[in-house]
Structure 1
Amino acid sequence: MADAETEPKSAVVGMDQPVTYTEDVPRPAGWMYKSLGFGKFTSWYASPSFQLGMIAFVCFMCPGMFNALSGLGGGGKINTHLADNMNTALYSTFAVVGFFAGTVVNRIGIRFALSLGGIGYCIYTISLLVSEHASVSGFNIFAGALLGVCAGLLWSAQGAIMMSYPPEGRKGRYFAWFWSIFNIGACIGALIPLGQNIHVTDKKNVNDGTYIAFIVLMAFGAVLALFICDADKVVRSDGSRVILMKSPTWKTEFIGLWETISNQPYIILLFPMFWSSNWFYTYQQNGINSAYFDTRTKALNNFLYWFAQIVAASIMGPLLDIESVRRSVRARIALGVLFVLTMAIWGGGYAWQKGYTRATVNDTNFVAWDWNTSGFLGPMFLYFFYGFYDAVWQGTVYWLMGALGNSGRKLANLAGFYKGLQSAGAAVMWSLDGQHELAYMSEFASNWGLLCGSLLCAAPVIIFKIKDSIPIEEDLQGTDETIEDVLPPGAADKALQN
């Protein structure tokens, strides 16, 4: 979570040749830039790693706890219809806001975008708690829709930071740090209902204490976000800064949104990957975990799902940054690995799904599986690898977007497209499950088909458009920044001479 002072001090300024400078780079004056020791590592408050760590803990508290709650299926309730309707509202507004969230984040700043996101998660969980004691469907739907707006801002800010703050050669590692810390929150959140329901071997709603614990942690995350510094204060260990638009207006930001697509139209080929990246949550949480297992086993599966994401991120993040392999080659290898995992893991899922239907688990004679049930290890490992796959898929998508540029402004817009389409897909799937009660096998087939199809669509971008590095001149296009603004003294002169 900290930058080593010995990190190579270089800045990519041309297509082929980086400008390297090894002299000590002085940081600006002020408490934000005073060295903080962490063992053999040294960082400072306004460093990319320290700020990413803080953002990871905000996500630990807010979406991490939300994931733990959602992972139980039905928001912790036996009847999943209320959560389906709330999530349909959530992802519908998220989809709309997501497309423009990068523009809003660029205007209001990182801190307020993240804090507003935390408030939305609190209100969502409060509405679930209230629904345990009274019928407040209107409040529930409002809370879901509000969270869609707030989460759109939070995830757009997070995505832009995770893709633009790191140096080009460390984007995979930064994803691994963030995703691991974020999912530790989901793991701890999953342990709360597990501990409180350790003896519940039938299907029941989680108790009030579970919701209250989540609300307190989410509120803490919203407050913590206010202590994050804005992107214009961040200085990397080589002295370079994040590329931003100076004093953007709403007009320039909406133009930038359009330019993101018009200047790189091939990005559209990544949209199916964006769309399908949350499509499978509904099936996994409602069609498997909530449908087939008792309360305490759902909580265990939930913990394993998010723990698998930590394992996956810890493995894939460093692999995506292997310096001995060119980035363009790494991208092609990642495509191949994703295809193999899609066929292997979802192939195992097909073998499991053949064993039951929606009617089977809704039958009064059906007995929910417990972790003591013979044969439990098979679906337990399947659910673990579903979580593993989720992290690999989303980590690869983030890494690919980060490989398309380093500009914070452009990547905020690209992250907005990602979260918007991701949420649109999720809204459709939650609606199909909640309103139409789509057959579980149909839900499964839609997942497998979408994932395979989106890899085929993305292949041309991955194979032909991922470069080994991005010239800084290309990143600066469409902004008011100059090379002198973003590179440290001395390096800018060398870049201009190139």
Structure 2
Amino acid sequence: MSGAQAEIEKLDSSSKDPASQHVEVFDRPTGWRKYYYHPIAQVSMLGLVCFMCPGMFVALTGLGGGGQVNGSIQANASAILYSTFAFFGSINNVLGPRRTLMLGTWGYSLYIASFLAISIHPGAGASAFVVVAGAILGICAALLWTAQGSLMMAYPTEAQKGMFICISWAILSLGGVVGSAVAFGTNFKIQQRNGTYVCFLILTLIGVFLPLLMANPDKMIRTDGTRVAQVRHPSWKAEFFSLYVALKTDPWIILLFPIFFASNYFYTWQYNDYNGAIFTIRARGLNNIMSWTAQIFGSIFIGCFVLDQKRVRRRVRAFYGWILVFLMIFVVHVWAFFYQKTYTRTEEAVRNADRIDIMDDTYAAHVWVMIFYGFLDSMWQTYAYWLMGAMSNDPAKLAVFTGFYKSVQSAGAAGVWRADAVGIPYMNIFLSTWCLMVAGMVFSAPMVYLRVTEHTYVEDEGL
């Protein structure tokens, strides 16, 4: 009896030390299931969903004004899109990951179909269709990105998180490359917006059905033999309450809100006020190809070679990543500032026909801004996801963090897209973008120093 009591006391004392808690290890599947249920295979399929849907969306956005001559329609649609996204972005995948992803994908098809409609039948009614489609897409995108973010950060081991994030982001960026290549090819000789929209629509419809082929997360076992924690599906009331609990138990996440706010803010200047303002349609398509290709390399660089560097401690890697992103902000924006000084919104409206084309002598110098902006974008997004992934390994808690990320991100995007729609000067939007990105990194520094540890302990696993 005394021996049993001693054993109970031993187990009880060890449970109080998070580092000493026993982690159950499971055997990985064999045969063809070993490949299908491999975390890399599943995160690649997740990336393929993003390739087909968000990838086509970013390619469309990258054309500046959604490929339309009048960019205010797309700016207004984006404002309402991100407004609804900001509200619904905090909802976890209550419906289950595959249903959540599937519901999230069809909004992209509707949104692209609205641009096809306005291209065929321009008018007030078609413009309203674009805005309504944007509102619906905001709800759908909130579902998709919350599920995507939680699974992308939950499937890898702690040493693999940078690699998994860069795999997912690289596949999404490849979607942007392919979509931009379609836009460039269909508009190379003559402007053919309808053909571009039809191609995008077909690809997004394929993406609607891809989540049906993915594995249930409850059956996933990581490469180290640990099982992915079961994704909880609480009630809507419990879901909103979990947001409060997450903030109370892990308030450091608040210091990442400025990073979240800026993470889609810069797209407005890059795509509408630079790419859309001074380039021809086919030049915009080529610019996007170059920018999204740079995103692939930027994500791989910081995710695999900096944040997952096994020979360096995780806290040191966190600071390496912070310094690289901070320096890149100034390199890109100092460079872009000298171009932004050369034109204003009023001047571009007057000389609409006099845009930079791929055959012009000045094109090569201007396209490098898009390339480096793409590199910075992927480094920024990968680093933000990696920081959240360093705070927990539990899909439910990571889904809450992702919900915060997408909500705050979308609030920033909604504001700046509306500012662009009402005609705020290009320089004002550019300088606000620069300042917000610097502020985001400054606010995140204390969190990186105090919250990122060498290992995510069990006490940080769940809500």
TM-score by length of 1: 0.86
Query: Does residue 171 of structure 1 match 2:161?
Result: yes
Residue of structure 2 in register with 1:95 after alignment: 86
Q: What are the equivalent positions in structure 2 for 1:280-295 lying under 5 Å apart? A: 280-295=266-281
| Structure 2, unpaired ranges of 5+ | 1-15
Q: State the number of aligned residues.
A: 444
Deviation at 1:20, TM superposition (A): 9.1
Whichever structure has more helix as a proportion of its residues is 2
1:180-230 Cα offsets, whole Å, 9 max, x none, are 111111101101111111124xxx5x4211111111100000111122223
Q: Given residue 206 of structure 2, which amino acid in structure 1 is its aligned partner?
A: F
Residue of structure 1 in register with 2:255 after alignment: 269
1:141-169 Cα offsets, whole Å, 9 max, x none, are 11000000000000011100111111000
Residue of structure 2 in register with 1:5 after alignment: none
Deviation at 1:452, TM superposition (A): 0.7
Query: Does residue 129 of structure 1 match 2:119?
Result: no
Deviation at 1:382, TM superposition (A): 1.1
Q: Distance in 2 between matches of 1:354 and 1:160?
A: 41
Of 170, 183, 201, which aligns to 2:173? 183
Q: Distance in 2 between matches of 1:254 and 1:84?
A: 30
1:254-294 Cα offsets, whole Å, 9 max, x none, are 33221110111121111010000000111111111111011
Q: What are the equivalent positions in structure 2 for 1:3-402 lying under 5 Å apart? A: 25-27=26-28, 33-36=29-32, 43-99=34-90, 101-102=91-92, 105=93, 107-134=94-121, 135=123, 136-200=126-190, 206-244=192-230, 246=232, 248-318=234-304, 319-364=306-351, 367-402=354-389
Q: Distance in 1 between matches of 2:113 and 2:203?
A: 12
Deviation at 1:17, TM superposition (A): 6.7
Aligned alpha-carbon RMSD (Å): 1.9
Deviation at 1:360, TM superposition (A): 1.9
Report the identity percentage: 39
| Structure 1, unpaired ranges of 5+ | 1-12, 28-32, 37-41, 479-498
Q: Given residue 31 of structure 2, which amino acid in structure 1 is its aligned partner?
A: S
Deviation at 1:246, TM superposition (A): 5.0
Q: Distance in 1 between matches of 2:262 and 2:366?
A: 23
Q: Distance in 1 between matches of 2:103 and 2:272?
A: 28
Residue of structure 2 in register with 1:415 after alignment: 402
Q: Given residue 369 of structure 2, which amino acid in structure 1 is its aligned partner?
A: L
1:327-347 Cα offsets, whole Å, 9 max, x none, are 111111111111111111111
**CA spacing shift, 1:186–1:326, aligned 2, 3 Å:** same
SS in structure 1 opposite 2:120? Answer: coil
Conservation of the 8 A alpha-carbon contact between 2:356 and 2:362: no
Q: Distance in 1 between matches of 2:406 and 2:460?
A: 24
Q: Distance in 1 between matches of 2:352 and 2:64?
A: 21
Q: Distance in 2 between matches of 1:236 and 1:417?
A: 26
Q: Distance in 2 between matches of 1:245 and 1:378?
A: 48
**CA spacing shift, 1:394–1:247, aligned 2, 3 Å:** closer
Deviation at 1:371, TM superposition (A): 1.7
Q: Distance in 2 between matches of 1:224 and 1:245?
A: 20
**CA spacing shift, 1:251–1:20, aligned 2, 3 Å:** closer
**CA spacing shift, 1:26–1:341, aligned 2, 3 Å:** same
Residue of structure 2 in register with 1:485 after alignment: none
SS in structure 2 opposite 1:320? Answer: coil
Conservation of the 8 A alpha-carbon contact between 1:360 and 1:366: no
Residue of structure 2 in register with 1:483 after alignment: none
Deviation at 1:16, TM superposition (A): 5.4
SS in structure 2 opposite 1:132? Answer: helix
Q: Distance in 1 between matches of 2:63 and 2:17?
A: 49
Q: Distance in 2 between matches of 1:331 and 1:366?
A: 47
Conservation of the 8 A alpha-carbon contact between 2:221 and 2:228: yes
Residue of structure 2 in register with 1:487 after alignment: none
Residue of structure 1 in register with 2:11 after alignment: none
Conservation of the 8 A alpha-carbon contact between 2:38 and 2:223: yes
**CA spacing shift, 1:247–1:195, aligned 2, 3 Å:** closer
Q: Distance in 1 between matches of 2:140 and 2:256?
A: 24
Q: Given residue 394 of structure 1, which amino acid in structure 2 is its aligned partner?
A: Q
**CA spacing shift, 1:123–1:366, aligned 2, 3 Å:** closer
Q: Distance in 1 between matches of 2:429 and 2:17?
A: 47
Q: Given residue 410 of structure 1, which amino acid in structure 2 is its aligned partner?
A: K
Instruction: Flag as ranges the 4+ runs of structure 1 deviating above 3 A.
Output: 13-21, 33-36, 244-247, 249-252
Q: Distance in 2 between matches of 1:387 and 1:474?
A: 33
Residue of structure 2 in register with 1:482 after alignment: none
Q: Distance in 1 between matches of 2:69 and 2:448?
A: 42
Residue of structure 2 in register with 1:425 after alignment: 412
Conservation of the 8 A alpha-carbon contact between 1:404 and 1:470: yes
Q: Given residue 147 of structure 1, which amino acid in structure 2 is its aligned partner?
A: L
Q: What are the equivalent positions in structure 2 for 1:476-491 lying under 5 Å apart? A: 476=462, 478=463
Conservation of the 8 A alpha-carbon contact between 1:14 and 1:471: no
Deviation at 1:93, TM superposition (A): 0.3
Deviation at 1:129, TM superposition (A): 0.5
